[in-house]
Structure 1
Amino acid sequence: MTHRRSIRFRLNLLFGAASLVALAVGVYGVSTLRETRHSLETSRLRQDRLNEAHRVQSLLLEGAREVGAFVAGDEASGDRARQINAEAEAALERLEEAAQDQAERKVAHELLQAVSGYQRTLERVVFALKKERLDYAKGVLPRLDTLLPEVDRQVDRLVRRQHESSLEAERRARARTGTIVWVVGLSIFGLVLLGVLLLIVLQHWLVRPLEALATGARRIAHGDYGAPIPDSGTRELSELSRELSGMGRSIANYQREMVDRERLAALGEMTYAVAHNVRNPLASIRALAQSSLPDALSDQVRESLRQIIRSVDRLDRWLKDLLVSLRPIKLSRQTEDLNDVVREVAESMETYATQRGVSIEIDLCELPCRASIDRRRLDQALISVVSNAIEASPRGERIRMSSAPLNGNHESFEIVVEDRGVGISSENRTKIFTPYFTTKSGGTGLG
């Protein structure tokens, strides 16, 4: 069995998929933004360290100039040189602490050691010159000349390292910025694609089925009540299409019922004319039979005349029933024995059965089958059924009429009429009580 999904389920599924995609893009975008922010912050810090390295380089150069001035005889330059070198040493300590990796930390540490050695040597030279120990100072000065190139080399190394780190951080920041641009572009493309997909899905799930339903509704409105309504794949629209189809069938059935009612109304008008035209000849026939009854030549003729009188009386009652058939039926109930009803109907139909070469057999309940019935209407119904059975039976066959308690209960009874005819097909069984329906060439469909 096909399980139909509702429109709400499908829209929720589509919304859920879109939400998952949007969530994934959002999470990736936020992650990329955080990484970009980190890269930019790293780039800024590396640029600050690069500036700090340049400052250290400038301080060391300035300190070297102050040392030269001090050696030339400017005593104040010695103190300034020591102060400048101490400031450079403090800056190097900060660079070592802020190093991002082991290699950068190693370069800063080696430069710090070189500057510290240079600072200690400078302290000894300044101290010796202030104490006028010129020989000692002259012996230490070559040491400064030896340490200064090493310090310059380490400073250049630190500057290069910080410059490379700054470039790497800047490259990563640019790459992250490019990723953000790519994510934004992909998000815009995804939104456009999602919109197009949503339009296609809505066109398939809603627009086309609704257009088909509208077309079917217009055809029904124009009188094509049997117009096929396409069954959509969604549960709600499928139910709507079934309701429209059912509405078309109901309108068609109602229209047929209206036609049948009009035909029945016309039949009612004819009934009065038939009743008035037939009852007068029947009265003449009954009067003739009644007047001939005392002069009957034999008992058989006398019984036949009585049968004629009973049949005429029965037909007269039926005509009276026809006159009131257009009014609501009111049963005139009376407790009677069903065996008598079966026996009388069998006797009244015996002549017609003999003419058709068919015999009637009765099998009555042993006990009286007393029930509350409308005798005239039950007679009418049984005679119609027996008449149909006679006409459907081949010559030489028997029709069996029986009465018996229903399910062994003596409060309810059944009357069964059996024949050997071809029977009623399964497709016609639901139509046998429809007015004017008949399978006989000369039938009226009112029996």
Structure 2
Amino acid sequence: MPASRSLKHVLLTHELALFLLVVLTGLLAGVSAYYWQETSRQSLRITRMTNAAQEIRTNLFRQVKEISWARLLRDASAAGVYTRFSREIDRHFNVLRQSTESRAEDEAVQALQKSYRRLQLDMNRIFVDPYPAAEVAPIRLLDPAYERGLVGGFELDYDNLASLLGRTTRQLVEREQLWTGIAMWGISVPFVLAVLLLGLMRHRIQGGFVRPVAALTTGAREMSAGRLDVRVPEEGVTELCELAKAFNHMAQELERSREALVESERAAALGALVPVVAHNIRNPLASIRATAQLLDENTEAEEQIEIRQMLIETVDRLGRWVSALVSYLHPLKPAPMLMSPTAMFDAAATLLAPRLDARGVEIVRAVWDADPQVPVDVDLMEQAIYGLLSNAVDASPEGGRIEISCRVEGDWLRLGIRDYGPGMPFRPEPGGLEPGPTTKRMGTGLGIPVAFKVCKAHGWNIAFEAATGGGTEVVIRAPLAAPVLPVETISAGRENAA
């Protein structure tokens, strides 16, 4: 298993990679900006020098032409025009000198300026010569061949400067094309790196954080559902590895604790159940033994029949108690369906009809202002209601009545069963395994524990209260919304019979 890294280290690595990507992008952007700025500056400089050289050449030829005509016509303002053109040409030479950035450019500008100075000296001699021979010079200046000979040296140096500037311009164009191609690739580099970084970050976060957290979440969900044998993989960043180790250790300790608790509860349950079993078996056995001792050879046939019937009833009672005990301890799982309280009470009352008629007991609906449907396992709840009504019938005097009620209290449904008997000789407690005492010939003493267990399995509440004026009232409260059944709830199968 590869060594895990801490979440801090992973985040720091990603932040550093992101920082380097930003620096690289900024560097490329800076180089591109500098290049374009430099290219633009060089282009403007070359354009400025080219324009200045052209202006010098144009002004020179205008100077030669215009001054020649002025001299030929003996114009008094010729000197002023000559001087104005000279100043303009000098200004453009200053622009050229300020714009040069290489030795070749300096030498070309100096050569052009020297050619102009030589040409200017020749012009000065023609314009200021007082001798008659100079009178022929203005006429010669009008000759194109003479003009080309006069400015030939200047033209040669001008062509050299123009050629140099042209080469520089072509170099700039070639460099621009080169950097344009490089820029196209340079723009894609940060994008490709960003995609790779994103993929790497996703892979690292998925493997080091997302999947381990999902495994921990699933493990916690399964543990909350009661699966303490679940284990999560110890992978991902260091912190999550440590958390997974702690989770697995906790699950292991909880599993051990649950096993110990189950063993402890089993021992406690057996400790509480054994005296009950012994008591409920010893009494019938003692009755059987005492009855058997009454039998002898001189026992009359009618008395033998009576004793035999007593033995059969005692054995049957013992069998019913054992069956009820097994049913009480049997694990179950409710299968809820929507059913109204009226239907459940009617079903239980129908089963009790023979006993009600025999004792003359009447079931009366005292308060019945609602009959909503609630989610309930009908068989289990009818069994519990049957046991509670059966206890009420046995507790009621002959010719008495049992009041049942159903009403809504907020978000709860309240069901009541009240008898007018002498009251209960003990106070039932939920969760107790010891059945209550019973004096009924057909009873088992497990009706109340079964009712407690069935109500608990449904998430309902049950309480036994001493009624005003005598008797006992059983109050069952059921939530109107479907309850969430406890995970540890063990419920009775449909085959349970009280």
CA 1:77–1:175 in 2, change beyond 3 Å: closer, same or farther?
farther
Deviation at 1:70, TM superposition (A): 3.5
CA contact (8 A) 1:50 1:166 kept: no
Counterpart-to-counterpart distance in 2, 1:95 and 1:229: 81
Counterpart of 1:210 in structure 2 is: 213
TM-score normalised by the chain length of structure 1: 0.54
TM-score normalised by the chain length of structure 2: 0.49
- Within 5 Å, which residues of 2 pair with 1:266-277? 266-269=269-272
Tell which deviates more after alignment, 226-235 or 22-31: 22-31
Q: Residue 123 of structure 2 aligns to which amino acid in structure 1? A: L
Q: Residue 85 of structure 2 aligns to which amino acid in structure 1? A: I
- 1:228 equivalent to 2:226? Answer no
Tell which deviates more after alignment, 155-164 or 76-85: 76-85
- Within 5 Å, which residues of 2 pair with 1:44-83? 44-75=44-75, 76-77=77-78, 79-83=80-84
- 1:251 equivalent to 2:273? Answer no
Counterpart of 1:188 in structure 2 is: 191
Any stretches of 5+ residues in structure 1 without a counterpart? Answer: 277-447
Question: Deviations 1:233-270 (Å, cap 9, x if unpaired)?
Answer: 31111122122212322331232122112222134337
Counterpart of 2:107 in structure 1 is: 106
Counterpart-to-counterpart distance in 2, 1:178 and 1:274: 97
CA contact (8 A) 2:126 2:137 kept: no
Question: Deviations 1:10-48 (Å, cap 9, x if unpaired)?
Answer: 111111122123213312321332232122112111111
CA contact (8 A) 1:39 1:170 kept: no
Question: Deviations 1:186-208 (Å, cap 9, x if unpaired)?
Answer: 22333233223222222222222
Counterpart-to-counterpart distance in 2, 1:94 and 1:34: 25
- Within 5 Å, which residues of 2 pair with 1:97-136? 97-128=98-129, 131=130, 133-136=131-134
Counterpart of 1:27 in structure 2 is: 27
Counterpart of 2:303 in structure 1 is: none
Counterpart of 2:5 in structure 1 is: 5
Counterpart-to-counterpart distance in 1, 2:190 and 2:74: 69
Q: Residue 152 of structure 2 aligns to which amino acid in structure 1? A: P
Counterpart of 1:425 in structure 2 is: none
Counterpart of 1:376 in structure 2 is: none
Q: Residue 50 of structure 2 aligns to which amino acid in structure 1? A: L
CA 1:137–1:83 in 2, change beyond 3 Å: closer, same or farther?
farther
Counterpart of 1:166 in structure 2 is: 169
Counterpart of 1:358 in structure 2 is: none
Deviation at 1:231, TM superposition (A): 0.7
Deviation at 1:176, TM superposition (A): 4.1
CA contact (8 A) 1:56 1:88 kept: yes
CA 1:271–1:173 in 2, change beyond 3 Å: closer, same or farther?
same
Question: Deviations 1:45-91 (Å, cap 9, x if unpaired)?
Answer: 11111111111121122122224324532534454244314422342
Question: Deviations 1:281-335 (Å, cap 9, x if unpaired)?
Answer: xxxxxxxxxxxxxxxxxxxxxxxxxxxxxxxxxxxxxxxxxxxxxxxxxxxxxxx
Q: Residue 43 of structure 1 aligns to which amino acid in structure 2? A: S
Counterpart of 2:156 in structure 1 is: 153
Counterpart-to-counterpart distance in 1, 2:13 and 2:62: 72
Counterpart-to-counterpart distance in 2, 1:192 and 1:95: 50
| Two-structure CA RMSD over aligned residues (Å) | 3.1
Deviation at 1:171, TM superposition (A): 4.2
- Matched residue SS, 2:163: helix
Counterpart of 1:95 in structure 2 is: 96
- Matched residue SS, 1:160: helix
- Within 5 Å, which residues of 2 pair with 1:39-438? 39-75=39-75, 76-77=77-78, 79-128=80-129, 131=130, 133-136=131-134, 138=136, 146-173=149-176, 175-269=178-272
Counterpart-to-counterpart distance in 2, 1:85 and 1:182: 52
Q: Residue 231 of structure 1 aligns to which amino acid in structure 2? A: E
Deviation at 1:98, TM superposition (A): 2.5
CA 1:190–1:166 in 2, change beyond 3 Å: closer, same or farther?
same
CA 1:123–1:83 in 2, change beyond 3 Å: closer, same or farther?
farther
CA contact (8 A) 2:24 2:190 kept: no
CA contact (8 A) 2:219 2:232 kept: yes
Structure showing the higher helix proportion among its residues: 1
Q: Residue 132 of structure 2 aligns to which amino acid in structure 1? A: L
Counterpart-to-counterpart distance in 1, 2:194 and 2:127: 74
Counterpart-to-counterpart distance in 1, 2:125 and 2:69: 16
- Matched residue SS, 1:186: helix
Percent of pairs with identical residues: 21
Deviation at 1:135, TM superposition (A): 0.9
Any stretches of 5+ residues in structure 2 without a counterpart? Answer: 280-498
- Matched residue SS, 2:236: coil
Counterpart-to-counterpart distance in 2, 1:190 and 1:44: 36
